[in-house]
Amino acid sequence: MKLCVAQTRPVKGDIQSNIENHKKLIQLAVANGAEIIIFPELSITGYEPTLADKLATIPDDVRFDDFQKISDAKHITIGIGMPLKTDSGLSISMLIFQPGKAREIYSKKYLHADEEPYFISGKSTIGLIGSESNISFAICYELSVPEHSENAHKAGAEIYIASVVKTVPGVEKAIKTLTDIAQKYAMTVLMANSVGVCDGDVCGGKTSIWNADGTLAGQLNDTDEGILIIDSETHALIEKTI
């Protein structure tokens, strides 16, 4: 399976502009044979907690219908980041579009203390995905919670995809943690991060993929948007920036 993580430069609070940018990167991923593409945390709005209440929406928002159409037509699974409204509050979520299926949600369960004034611990509608049911997700701070990757491994995950927004120093810590996760659980690990400014800080980019022995297979730079693809069987890598 060809797995892809995207690196984006979100436009603060501009949902439509970010949707159009996602489509460009999805098109690039499709052209290079990707079967799944995952975007950074809150990729459709940018990571802007103070704006989340204004920007949050519902899972069935028609503005996202094109992602389902692309998924169906191109046979690609797409994961986009969005704050979602729930009965209890706002969740940091990933909307997941799979060919021929209703959209599902992966929501961040483990929140950083800085996020607690704005968001609630989320509930997901999806478990492991992929043709082998061996792909697990994480959203940003969750990768720093040992129970999260441990539970993914126990559930049968062989691929761990982290959707994050990490600053320049933060991404270096995440790289160390994800290297350790790959080594400890013999999982292929992917990380999708942003570049540009989110919540007043500079994002560190370096979207990365690790082999199951913890070696770094590939990494984007800290300035450009782009995609990184790995073939889970051959381990062949494709790197494209825009």
Structure confidence by residue, pLDDT tens digits, 75-94: 999 999 999 999 999 999 99
What average pLDDT score do residues 178-201 get? Answer: 98
Domain ranges of the chain: 2-241
pLDDT at 74: 98
pLDDT tens digits for 200-218? 999 999 999 999 999 999 9
The pLDDT of residue 46: 98
CATH tag, 2-241: 3.60.110.10
CA 200 from chain center: how many Å? 21
Return the pLDDT at 84: 98
Note the pTM of the prediction, 2 decimals: 0.98
User: Would you state the pLDDT for residue 150?
Assistant: 98
pLDDT score of 68: 98
Nearest to 34 by CA among 241, 242, 236: 236
Place of tokens 């292929």: 188
- Model pLDDT for residues 58-81, shown as the tens digit of each residue: 999 999 999 999 999 999 999 999
Mean pLDDT in residue range 167-180? 97
When the pLDDT of each residue in the chain is averaged and rounded to a whole number, the result is: 98
C-alpha triplet 136, 141, 144: angle, nearest 5°: 80
Q: What is the rounded CA–CA span in Å between residue 156 and residue 186?
A: 11
Q: Give the tens place of pLDDT for each residue, 103-117.
A: 999 999 999 999 999
Q: β-strand 226-231 against 237-241: which pairing, if any?
A: antiparallel
Predicted confidence at residue 143, as pLDDT, reads: 98
Confidence of residue 1 (pLDDT cuts 50, 70, 90): very high
> At which residue do the structure tokens 């990757």 appear?
149
